[in-house]
Structure 1
Amino acid sequence: MDRPPVTFRGLFAALRHCPHLEYPQVYINAVNVDIDPEAESFRYTYLAELDVCSARIRNIDAVTRIVYSMLPRIAHVGPDRIRLLGWKEVNELKSWRCGES
């Protein structure tokens, strides 16, 4: 069964209704980034890991800014088997993470 991808805006809308969700598994549309982390004030502090299934990334820098500024507790975006899709780079670019230089 094919699942339609969720945009980052859709993910954050859902997280507003799930205040203690820590380990979601979601197929994210990371090609069409529909959110600006610098213009949004939303921060979700419970999410510890995000399993993005097999979503492909077009703009690694933008996705990295979104993940680490809006989801500050994230330690890993996975799973590791999706290295070729750009998520390995997101995990390696921790310099965008709040409090890290």
Structure 2
Amino acid sequence: MQHSQFPSLKEFWFEAKYISSEEAEQLFHALSRCKACLTLEKILIRSLDEGYLVPLNSSHLTPIPHFLCFTQLRTLQLTFYNSCIYLDNDMLLQAISTWPHIRALEIDNSGGYVPCSEISLRGLFTALGLCPQLHRLRVPINLATIDIDPNAEPIQHTSLQSLALQSSEFQTADAETIARIISTWLPCVDQVRNIYGSSWVEVNRHLRSLRAAAAPYVVRRKKRTLE
């Protein structure tokens, strides 16, 4: 693949029962060399067998730097149930800055294993501000520290409709704060989907309450606009 030009390649799909970390990195590298930087719009790569456990000393996958050359990217879906994809604030911000047309970014990381992510809430919302067309987002996130003031004036992202955040367990006391942040910054997100951990049940419960409390205000505002 890396010796071919593929000058008009628009979509790349690859699915396997199991890909080792070494094979995955070779695949990422080969794809980045296929000379489709100005045409590739969709990448889907899946390694789906949960029976292969992640070795404790295994290296983290780093696909994002390989894909920065694809400036027309609109959809990136990476599903690795047997490896751990590393992301941090700088890497996410660089990716979003490089993909101005991105509409779906989904990193399904390790099938329930503790995610190896350094993305914080502040890093997440900073990146979201650069991708107004994003509709679906799924990323691992680190909530050990909530680094956004829930009372601060939000910069709302109004196109995002589907949100999934995978994280290790966080303090249940923080669930309401996280729900308030999501409610104010992401007005079109009704719940956090496809997540692991009981703490997220509390986040969604608070989010439903906040949406219900805001509903009468939205109705009144619409009526006033019609008048």
TM-score (norm 2): 0.40
The match for 2:203 is 90
Shift of 1:41: 2.7
Kindly indicate whether the alpha-carbon contact (under 8 Å) linking 1:78 and 1:87 is maintained by their aligned counterparts in 2.
no
Segments ≥4 residues shifted beyond 3 Å: none
Alignment partners' CA distance in 1, 2:205 and 2:140: 20
Unaligned ranges ≥5, structure 2: 1-59, 61-83, 87-116, 217-227
Change (3 A) 1:89 1:100: farther
Equivalents in 2 of 1:41, 1:52: separation in Å? 19
Provide the rounded CA distance (Å) in 2 between the counterparts of 1:48 and 1:30.
21
Structure 1 alignment gaps of length 5 or more: none
Choose from 30, 35, 41 the match for 2:154. Answer: 41
| 1:50 CA displacement | 1.1
Cα RMSD over matched residues? 1.9
TM-fit CA distance, 1:45: 1.0
Among all aligned residue pairs of Structure 1 and Structure 2, give the percentage whose two residues are the same amino acid. 33
1:96 maps to amino acid: L
CA distance in 1, matches of 2:153, 2:120: 15
Q: Which moved more, 1:60-69 or 1:40-49?
A: 40-49
Q: Which residue of the partner structure matches residue 214 of structure 2? A: 99
1:37 and 1:20 mapped to 2: Cα distance? 24
What amino acid maps onto 1:67 in structure 2? I
CA shift, 1:99, in A, is 1.5
TM-score, scaled relative to structure 1: 0.83
Deviations 1:4-56 (A, max 9, x none): 23111101110111111111111122231000132133111111121112343
Partner SS for 2:163: strand
Tell me what 2:193 maps to: 78
The higher-RCO structure (CA 8 Å, 6+ apart) is 1
Q: Which has the higher strand share?
A: 2
